Amino acid sequence: MARITYDERTAAAFKAVREVPRDGLSEWREAVRRHLRPSRSMTLVDIGAGTGAFAAAFTDWFGLAVVAVEPSAAMRDQIVRTAAVEVLEGDASALPLPDESADAAWLSLVIHHIPDLRVAAHEIRRVLRPGAPVLIRQGFPGRLNGVELVRWFPETARTANTFPSLEETCKAFAAAGFHQDALEQVRETYPAGLADLLGHVDTLRRADTTMRDLTEDEFRRGKERLRRAARLAGGTVSAETRSNRLDLLVLR
């Protein structure tokens, strides 16, 4: 069971406010390029592909094929179908792929929804070719300093700190034969300023696991913090105020 229900309302909210605009993903493009060393003949499995933002980015950037595996029908419905993106129902513990058929696995903000990470790690091992990387984009407990939402809504860390830690994740994958190959923090940026974030923060609350657990009071105080900062920024767009840093963990 995922921590939240990705129904039609949540999927629409996710699509509207949680996809990072493509222009803000250039540092992810370069980080993934370094670790994946992509080629046009590759197939990448995007596990928990959501609304398909990364599936589309990978096919556009690297010309490879993506199998987007996603358990929620509402999220799958949001994925833009192209010749390079195959969309399949499934989850991390039951991947609808043959043995040793993929050249990489991508899991973005998914591992905290997976009920048994060890089972998933074994399943990922089954579908990957030997030596293929697992690329995990995640905010790990104790490593949330660069997470934008934690800056404005510090109590979101309460939930984020219950997610699988870096150590737990590496251990679960080690049991399936993977070792940690790299770990780095990668920045994404938003072209619009704080007023824009303030404008869609109610929708964001619907689409984000850590925001959902805030009390009304915590949410109100965070919004007030954001309102004051947006007023001070005076509508200016600063990469410093609108950026988010998450970990990229690479296992092989």
Least separation in angstroms between residue 68's CB and ligand SAM is 9
Judged by beta carbon, residue 69 or residue 132, the one nearer ligand SAM is 69
Euclidean distance between CA atoms 132 and 7, whole angstroms:
33
Judged by beta carbon, residue 70 or residue 155, the one nearer ligand SAM is 70
Least separation in angstroms between residue 111's CB and ligand SAM is 9
Judged by beta carbon, residue 132 or residue 211, the one nearer ligand SAM is 211
Least separation in angstroms between residue 224's CB and ligand SAM is 26
Q: How far is CA 92 from CA 45, 71, 124, 145, in A?
A: 10, 9, 7, 28
Euclidean distance between CA atoms 133 and 251, whole angstroms:
6
Least separation in angstroms between residue 227's CB and ligand SAM is 26
Least separation in angstroms between residue 93's CB and ligand SAM is 6
Count CB neighbours of 153 within 10 A: 25
Judged by beta carbon, residue 123 or residue 155, the one nearer ligand SAM is 123
Query: Closest CB to ligand SAM belongs to which residue?
Result: 50
* Burial track 116-135 (b if 16+ CB lie within 10 A, e otherwise): ebbebbbbbbebbeeebbbb
Q: Would you give the DSSP letter of residue 128?
A: B
Judged by beta carbon, residue 90 or residue 222, the one nearer ligand SAM is 90
Q: How far is CA 62 from CA 2, 56, 105, 129, 187, in A?
A: 30, 10, 15, 19, 20
- Site residues for ligand SAM per CB under 6 A: 2, 6, 47-50, 53-54, 70-72, 75, 91-92, 108-110, 113-114
Backbone angles phi and psi of 188, in degrees to 5:
-120, 150
Least separation in angstroms between residue 228's CB and ligand SAM is 28
Judged by beta carbon, residue 49 or residue 144, the one nearer ligand SAM is 49
C-alpha Rg value of the chain to the nearest Å: 18
Least separation in angstroms between residue 25's CB and ligand SAM is 11
Judged by beta carbon, residue 104 or residue 114, the one nearer ligand SAM is 114
Angle at 110 between CA 186 and CA 63, to 5 degrees: 65
Euclidean distance between CA atoms 179 and 170, whole angstroms:
7
Q: Smallest Cα–Cα separation from 117: which of 175, 190, 75? A: 175
